[in-house]
């Protein structure tokens, strides 16, 4: 049987001739890989079934900004401390001068108790002024204890303002009571809302 001319370049290759191995079974043809082509994943988007990358581990956490009500209460505490320290100093100097005058005229023994009460009032005002400054400073980094202390402090201020208004006889005590009542009311209102709770209970980094 003739299989054609073996020297014919256009004829089919002879069977079993070396140099022409048959294509292996089960492998894809040349240039056509098996299955659908795999696309590279897009940058920044994890593939399905892979865990997402966490956030930047070493990045600094953004600090929470103090709410406006907290800023207002803080400023009022500083203003209140200025009045308390000023009036405490004035009261102390006035009581001391009055006692010196009383001692000069020979009636110092009868005014000792009044002078002691005046000095006690002056010392109380100075202590309240220091407390107002302390609370205002601690608003930035303080916790829930500062909030509770400020609430109690404002409540006592409101009570004192009401007493001054009712017993002041429309004089300077009444005017001071009105101012104290207004400032303390704003401070107390700013301390009992959800913004104050979120601010003083925020996580510290």
Phi, psi of 96 (to 5 degrees): -65, -40
Q: pLDDT at position 62, please?
A: 58
Whether the predicted model's global pTM rises above the 0.85 cut: no
CB 188 within 8 A of CB 151: yes
Q: pLDDT at position 67, please?
A: 86
Asked if residue 135 belongs to a domain, the reply is yes
Helices and strands per DSSP (H, E), number in the chain:
5, 0
Asked if residue 60 belongs to a domain, the reply is no
Asked if residue 43 belongs to a domain, the reply is no
Q: pLDDT at position 53, please?
A: 41
Domains of the chain: total? 1
pLDDT tens, position by position, 14-72: 555 555 555 555 555 555 555 555 555 554 444 544 444 444 444 455 567 888 888 99
Asked if residue 121 belongs to a domain, the reply is yes
pLDDT tens, position by position, 22-37: 555 555 555 555 555 5
DSSP tag of 35: S
SS3 131: helix
Residues of the chain above pLDDT 70, percent:
62
Residue 182 token pair:
């207004």
Asked if residue 37 belongs to a domain, the reply is no
Asked if residue 166 belongs to a domain, the reply is yes
Asked if residue 161 belongs to a domain, the reply is yes
Query: Quick one: CA torsion of 145, 196, 140, 146, rounded to 10 degrees?
Result: -20
CB 169 within 8 A of CB 163: no
Q: How far apart are CA 113 and CA 176, in angstroms?
A: 25
CB 67 within 8 A of CB 195: yes
For the chain, give the mean pLDDT: 76
Asked if residue 48 belongs to a domain, the reply is no
**72 is in which domain, residue-wise?**
68-200
Q: How high is the mean pLDDT in each 10-residue block of the chain (205 residues)?
A: 56 55 53 52 49 45 77 93 91 85 68 81 92 93 91 93 78 79 92 90 77
């Amino acid at each position: 049987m003739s299989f054609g001319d073996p020297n014919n370049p256009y004829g089919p290759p002879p069977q079993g001739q070396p140099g022409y191995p048959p294509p292996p079974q089960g492998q894809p043809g040349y240039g056509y890989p098996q299955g659908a082509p795999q696309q590279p994943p897009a940058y920044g988007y994890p593939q399905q079934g892979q865990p997402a990358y966490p956030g930047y581990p070493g990045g600094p956490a953004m600090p929470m900004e103090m709410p406006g009500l907290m800023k207002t209460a803080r400023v009022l505490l500083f203003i209140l401390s200025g009045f308390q320290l000023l009036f405490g100093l004035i009261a102390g100097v006035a009581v001391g001068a009055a006692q010196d005058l009383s001692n000069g005229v020979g009636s110092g023994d009868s005014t000792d108790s009044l002078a002691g009460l005046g000095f006690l009032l002056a010392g109380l005002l100075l202590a309240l002024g220091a407390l107002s400054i302390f609370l205002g400073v601690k608003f930035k980094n303080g916790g829930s204890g500062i909030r509770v202390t400020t609430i109690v402090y404002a409540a006592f201020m409101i009570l004192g303002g009401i007493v001054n208004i009712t017993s002041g006889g429309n004089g300077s005590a009444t005017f001071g009571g009105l101012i104290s009542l207004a400032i303390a009311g704003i401070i107390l209102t700013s301390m009992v809302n959800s913004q104050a709770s979120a601010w003083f209970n925020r996580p510290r980094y």
